[in-house]
Amino acid sequence: MKTRNLYKLIGLVALFASVATVEAEEVEKDPLSGMIIAENWNLVKANCVVCHSTKGFTQIRLDRKNWEKIIKLMQEKNGLWPLGEMEPKILDYLEENYGLSDEHHNPKIRRPLLD
C-alpha cells in the first residue's frame, strides 16, 4: 500500500513539473535584453534600455499607477524625454508583463510604497 501511494505521489510531482515547464516555455524572451516579447516590447526596449539595464524593471512587479509614477519621476529628475503617444503603450506593456498579479503576490513580502 505504501508503495502504491509513493508511486502516486511521484506521478503527481512529475505531472506538476511538466505543467510548470510548459507554462514557462510559453513566454518568449528577447535573448539580448531578457525582456518578454509581447506587443509594444520594442517601445520599452527603445525608450528604457537606453539608460537602464533591463534587470531594473524585469525583476520587479508594479501596478500601472506605480509604473506611471516611476516614468514621471524619471522625467522630472533624470531627464527622460516626453513619451507622448508611446506612454500608454509602454504602460500597457509594463502592466501586462511586469505588473502585479495573484501569482506574483506574496502576502508575507511587504511591497514598497511609491506615493
What is the biggest distance separating any 2 CA atoms in the chain, rounded to whole angstroms?
Answer: 68
Supply the pLDDT for residue 26: 81
What domain count does the chain have?
Answer: 1
pTM of the model: 0.66
47-94 pLDDT, tens per residue? 988 888 888 778 889 999 999 999 999 999 999 999 999 999 999 999
Q: Is the pLDDT of residue 12 over 50?
A: yes
User: What is the amino acid identity at position 90?
Assistant: I
In a domain, 15, yes or no: no
Per the DSSP assignment, residues forming a β-bridge with 99 are none
Of 22, 75, 31, residue with least CA distance to 51: 75
Q: SS3 for 24-88, per residue?
A: HHHCCECCCCCCECCCCHHHHHHHHCCCCCCHHHHCCCCCHHHHHHHHHHHHHHCCCCCCCCHHH
23-33 pLDDT, tens per residue? 455 889 999 88
In a domain, 106, yes or no: no
In a domain, 79, yes or no: yes
Supply the pLDDT for residue 57: 76
Q: Which domain holds residue 72?
A: 29-98
In a domain, 112, yes or no: no
